[in-house]
Chain A
Amino acid sequence: MKYIEEYRDKQLVYNLVNQIKKEVTRSWTIMEICGGQTHSIMKYNLQDLLPEEINLVHGPGCPVCVTPLELIDQALTIASKENVIFTSFGDMLRVPGSSNDLLSIKAKGADIRILYSPIDALKIAKENPEKRVVFFSVGFETTAPAVALALKNAKKQELNNFSVLIAHVLVPPAMETILSSEQNQIQGFLAAGHVCTIMGYHEYWPISEKYKIPIVITGFEPVDILLGLLKVVKLLEGKKNIVENAYGRIVAEKGNESAQKLLREVFEVTDRKWRGIGTIPKSGYRLRKEYEQFNAESIFNIGEIKVEESDLCIAGEVLQGIKKPNNCSVFGTLCNPENPIGAPMVSSEGACSAYYKYKRLVNV
């Protein structure tokens, strides 16, 4: 397939791997931020092609994984209500809340639908005026503009049976949290290409300078990832703590400015709790007061939900790159895709699910 297969080219992959081997003189711990990158690394088993000096650790870029349990429980409560059509991305449906997941609630009769775009939720709202349609909006900067557009249209069309449960988080504050941790071992970052498509990469310069770390904007196909790695290894070996773009075919320095404008119009930055990590200041979006009428949290007024995380799950450490999924005592045994204990075992972007799906037998 054009513009995909070129980036899965065997010869290019080998050339890049050989260049990385030539450049590397010592061991480096490098984190890929995005869960999409993690899955690509596992799907193509890139670690096996790389020299052993390169230690890849997996970042927090799995929106489903970092959505706090309280919010999932709120979603479950809202979805169980009469006359509600609850919509979300497919990944969200199997994420375990404290006592249930959305698919189990669906089996009990709740109207839960998988969507690919929040715009489709508006269509459902229009077609079902007697129902309350809720979109559970998870994701990083990448998915937020589509939600903002849906909300803008909802306002224009005066749709009063549509609302959103917002769980949007932002990448740069999470990177800072990881770098500030005493346990931090990360020496270089592969930044999430799609997030940068929207936001550009000027935000990464201050992080790179403050924490003295190279950051390379990286794509998702094997050739993209290896190119990102080659660049970051060169920067590390040359002791250059700067930001570089290895995903130039998609990412511009300033990003998508009209999407950013839309985001500013609908959302404002707020503190957000990350599952497994805790509250990170200014790390997420909430609705501006002009859009408060669409806020499912206030419409359904669920109130405070007390939750208890499983003490077996080490998702927090996995998401910060401190541990790998196979370091977990319940990985592949008590915790597996049929019975996930933590969200990273569920999501198609979760590191634990990637290890389970593509790699578990190598580690057993």
Chain B
Amino acid sequence: MNKEKVLNFELNCPIPINQYERVLLAHGGGGKLTNQLIEKMFFQTFDNELLRKEHDGAVINIGDKKIAFSTDSFVVNPIFFPGGDIGDLAVNGTVNDIVCCGAKPLYISLAFIIEEGLLMEELWRVVQSINKAAEKAGVKIVTGDTKVVDKGKGDKIYINTTGIGEVYPGVNISPANCMAGDVIIINGKIADHGIAIISKREGLAFETEIKSDTAALNKMMEDVYKNSKEVHVVRDPTRGGLASSLNEISKSANLGITLFEEDLPVSEDVKGACELLGFDPLYVANEGKMLVFVPENEAEKVLEIMKSNEYGKESTIIGKVTKNDPGIVKLKTTIGSTRIVDMISGEQLPRIC
């Protein structure tokens, strides 16, 4: 066994320090180690009813209003990539997290941690991009913060955004609402973001046309929320990809999920890149996708609404929720066999958002 992993000192720390003396990159990869950190260290320490809902954000009652509240930090490398940059990613990411709470995103905070030496022109490009993304999503940036750290103590620029929004009347989104018989809709092709990022990384760079799918999906989901009160769960499958989000939901809801490989939308370019790199697109990040769980009899209506939006044209049903195998995600393969889709344990790509 790993000596470093069986150190004898005891701290009253619920994360098994005997397993990991130090934080690894994989602790931020969105897979099992991230989950372990959240479950065992953060949830146990900060335990409260709202946090326990394991949602993309919290829904808080203030007066007679239901407010959604969510935060996200962005450390992507490189900061400019095909299809977007760290600026629009930071806006879209938080907007989408608010949307996953069944709310209309309204206000966003913006905090920069900038590494000394960043080109002013690059900062300007990021700021312009943030502004454009906020305008497009219809959210206002209303507060912020700026810190600069020594050269070498950061990587160009990190951004944190926090958003608040108002929950649509009659809408109640939570993994706990997931029901056997629900179908799972996604608004288009998966894995574009992760592959676009890796195509620009040192040591892994390759020529490709693949662009990040980064987009704010609040307009598309507003139409859904206003026309259907039967949406059970909404989740944006970012870090850790489709597989991680679906595993989280199946575990929270204690229900099974079956995916149909034939119905999974993946572009030919992404398929090729994944074959080349040995990745499974199910684990690759998205930044402009929504998983929408609705009862089967509501699916057609919701699909049509999603398809009428610019970001939902390719919406399609990819799977269903089952009573069998609670907590397990399965895949019906193209050849007709069935296998498990586990949560990723480490990470396929470092720092993708």
Contact = CB atoms under 8 A, between A and B. Distances in A.
A45 B203 contact: no
- Residue picked from B21, B32, B204, most chain A C-beta under 10 Å: B204
B22 to A, nearest CB: 4
Interface string B260-281: 0000000010011001011000
B22 A104 contact: yes
B342 A357 contact: yes
A22 B239 CA distance: 46
Contacts of B2: 96, 99-101, 339
Contacts of A250: none
Chain B interface size, as a band, is 35 or more
B340 A10 contact: no
Interface stretch (B167-175, B230-238, B303-311, B329-337): B329-337
- Residue picked from B33, B203, B335, most chain A C-beta under 10 Å: B335
A279 B340 CA distance: 36
Interface in A12-56: 13-14, 42-46, 48-49
A268 interface: no
B3 A98 contact: yes
A8 B334 contact: yes
A337 B25 contact: no
Contacts of B339: 42-45, 358-359
A338 B335 contact: no
A107 B25 contact: yes
B335 A1 contact: no
B210 interface: no
B140 interface: no
B326 to A, nearest CB: 11
B275 A115 contact: no
A45 B333 contact: yes
B337 A49 contact: yes
B340 A360 contact: yes
B173 to A, nearest CB: 29
B100 interface: no
A222 B36 CA distance: 35
A361 B204 contact: no
B120 interface: no
B345 interface: yes
B223 interface: no
B11 interface: no
A310 interface: yes
Contacts of A4: 271, 275
B24 interface: yes
A107 B22 contact: yes
B13 interface: no
B278 to A, nearest CB: 6
A282 interface: no
A98 B119 CA distance: 45
Interface string A91-102: 000101011110
B328 interface: yes
A67 interface: no
A69 B334 CA distance: 39
Contacts of A361: 325, 328, 340
A49 to B, nearest CB: 6
Contacts of B278: 348
B25 A338 contact: no
Interface in B10-68: 19-26, 32-33, 36
Interface in B295-353: 325, 328, 333-340, 342, 345-346
A104 B7 CA distance: 14
Given A310-B1, A337-B346, A1 B340 contact: no
Contact of B204 (A1, A9, A114): A114
Contact of A359 (B328, B340, B346): B340
A108 interface: yes
Contacts of A120: 202-203
A44 B335 contact: yes
A44 B337 contact: yes
A186 interface: no
- Residue picked from B1, B23, B275, most chain A C-beta under 10 Å: B1
15 contacts: A1-B268, A4-B271, A9-B335, A43-B339, A45-B337, A46-B337, A99-B4, A107-B22, A108-B22, A115-B204, A116-B204, A120-B203, A337-B345, A338-B32, A338-B33
Interface of B: 1-5, 19-26, 32-33, 36, 202-204, 268, 271-272, 275, 277-278, 325, 328, 333-340, 342, 345-346
Q: Across chains A and B, which 4 residue pairs bring their CB atoms closest together, nearest first?
A: A99-B3, A45-B337, A337-B345, A107-B22
